[in-house]
Amino acid sequence: MPSQPAFNAVSSQPDGSQIVWNDALAAHVAGLARDWFAEDLGHECDWTSVALVAASATCELDVVARQSGVVAGVQAAEVVALVADPKMHWQSRVQDGTAVEAGHTIATLGGATRSVLAAERVLLNMIGRMSGVATATRLLVDAVAGTPCRVYDTRKTVPGWRLLDKFATRAGGGWNHRLGLFDAVLIKDNHVAALAAEGIGPAEAVHRARAFIRNAFPPQRAAVMVVQIEVDSIQQCEAILSAGPDVLLLDNMTLEDLAHCVCLRNQRSPGIVLEASGGIRPETIRAVADTGVDRVSSGWPTHNAPWLDVALDWLGYEQKA
């Protein structure tokens, strides 16, 4: 498969790259799937199926959503199915990002019965988690409908699952924050505390980050390295606006303070993006968006949202002679 990035930059705001489905992401999923099957099969096999199901038996099953939600993971599921058995066939009935009602068939899976049974739980786990993240993200996105505010994810992802969690965010209509520590500069509270011990203030930290990027990276890479800094008070916001970060992260502020920071930004540095974080959930996000911030970031979809209930429904079984 071509070695191309698993993401594309498609945002008009100062952002990192946005995850898309492509050959590189498919190859990443195939690697994960091999580990998942090694975990489930213990480098042996599904002894229950070997003991009870004829090697020649074939079947076909529908993959059905047991509850309403937003589907994510159908493209990845085809890759996982082929890792389990290259002769299995997966037919998607919906696209990633499709909202479905309970009872809707999202795909059909068929092949050797032993292979299908061995792959069942791994496939359903992946689709259930990814669809749960997408569904939760859509709740947040729908809650801010009619405002210019965007919904972003965070790095609060399951280890090893970051690209899938972030792909699910995109399927739910959200936007990807930085992928990791490597693709943006985000000066957080503990960075600020460490620098304060050396007599370096937040505004100077922004200037130093800018200088480092100019000197350390080639121009093309430097141009896409976003500089963001976290503040938790109006006073910090006011002091840092003149330093010109790309994004100012307003962490755990009251609605009144968020609105005040928006006014300050609009008056002094209208080009700086304001992002609110902390306690962002479906019941709180609209009020935050109404303060005028440009975006919110939330770890709720990836670390707190329930999985979507997805199951395999048996369609047919053929015992070959």
Catalytic member of 15, 78, 165, 230: 230
CA geometry: angle 86, 91, 94, nearest 5 deg: 140
Asked about 166 being catalytic, the answer comes back as: no
CA distances to 173, 190, 192, 257 from 295, in Å: 13, 23, 22, 15
Within a 10 A sphere around the Cβ of 167, how many other Cβ atoms? 29
Contact 92, 63 (CB under 8 A): no
CA geometry: angle 93, 166, 184, nearest 5 deg: 150
Asked about 275 being catalytic, the answer comes back as: no
DSSP letter at 221 equals H
Rounded CA separation 303/8 (Å): 25
**Beta bridge pairs of residue 64:** 105, 311
Catalytic member of 34, 87, 121, 268: 121
Asked about 142 being catalytic, the answer comes back as: no
Asked about 188 being catalytic, the answer comes back as: yes
Asked about 156 being catalytic, the answer comes back as: yes
CA distances to 50, 55, 57, 83, 116 from 321, in Å: 17, 11, 9, 27, 20
Catalytic member of 66, 93, 155, 156: 156
- Pinpoint the alpha helices (H) of 42-184: 47-52, 74-84, 113-143, 162-171
Between strands 89-92 and 105-112, the pairing is: antiparallel
Catalytic member of 251, 257, 290, 309: 251
Contact 55, 114 (CB under 8 A): yes
Nearest by Cα to 222 from 201, 246, 249: 246
Contact 124, 312 (CB under 8 A): yes
Contact 29, 164 (CB under 8 A): yes
Active site residues: 121, 156, 188, 230, 251
